[in-house]
Amino acid sequence: MNKIILSTLFSIFISISLFGQNGEMKVIPTADPGTYKLYFSADLASDIKINVRNKSKKSVFSRKIKDEKGFILPINFSDFESDRYTIELFSPLFSLYDTIDYKSAKDRFIENFEWEVLPEKNKVIVTAIKPLDDEITVLVKGDNNNEIDKQQISGNRFGVRVFNFDGMNTDIIYLSFYYKGEVVISKEFPIRK
């Protein structure tokens, strides 16, 4: 009889204890704009499942962590598109959610520039609103795909650049910006001869 009473009391104690368990989660950007850190702490260690979903609710990242009471998990968003992401954390005791609005390097790059086209003067003025953290390559090609100009510019020294196409022997100029090895902006400009 005493064993039954003790077993029942223990079950009630465990149930009451578990229902009172809490956890905290924060998702914080780091100095690297593509990486965020998920900080987690809980009253009781348990198995954790982390899932990151985009706005369309598609899972883009998933991780299982065994029997932890707290941890810091870096999540690299660099390979993801610009979107609103929901970070989900599931334990047997509770679920936690947070959202972030992530912009890809390409979108951050594009937003960082202002373009002024002066077609009557065959000039394009490109202004960097703020410095970038990496080198930019600007490639200028003509309508027969011949390379007219190529410049490699330190991201923090871009400032204002004037591209003058007056007197070029071509009908169209193609101006392409490369950032971290990929074309992020490509524009074409008709040329007055």
pLDDT at 77: 94
Here the CATH number for the domain that contains residue 186 is 2.60.40.3080
- pLDDT of 24 reads 93
Asked if 186 and 129 sit in the same domain, the reply is: yes
CA-to-CA separations, 184 to 14, 102, 106, 178, in angstroms, rounded: 57, 17, 6, 6
| Co-location of 88 and 122 in the same domain | no
Residues 36, 81, single domain; the answer is yes
Q: What is the pLDDT of residue 41?
A: 93
CATH code, domain with 78: 2.60.40.10
pLDDT of residue 12: 37
Q: How far is residue 160's CA from residue 113's CA, in Å, rounded to a whole number? A: 10
The pLDDT of residue 137 is: 86
Under a CB-based contact definition with an 8 Å cutoff, are residues 176 and 110 in contact? no
Same domain for 181 and 123: yes
Domain boundary residue among 82, 103, 124? 103
Q: Do the domain assignments include residue 137?
A: yes
Residues 112 and 186 in one domain: yes
- Check residue 143 and give its pLDDT: 83
Under 8 Å between Cβ of 163 and 123: yes
Three-class DSSP category at 157:
helix
Q: Are 56 and 85 in contact (CB under 8 A)?
A: no
Residue 122 is predicted with a pLDDT of 79
- Inter-CA distances, 146 with 65, 122, 173, 178, 184, Å: 54, 18, 10, 17, 20
Per the CB < 8 A criterion, the answer to whether 133 and 155 are in contact is yes
Strand order in the sheet with 147-153: 147-153, 136-141, 172-179, 182-190
**88, 103, 118 — which closes off a domain?**
103
Q: Which domain holds residue 127?
A: 106-190
Q: Which of 75, 103, 131 is the last residue of a domain?
A: 103
6, 55 contact by CB (below 8 A): no
pLDDT less than 70: residues of the chain: 1-21, 132-133, 155-157, 192-193
Specify if 52 maps to a domain.
yes
Q: In what order do the strands lie in the sheet with 160-164?
A: 113-118, 123-128, 160-164
Residue 117 lies in a domain: yes
Domain total for the chain?
2
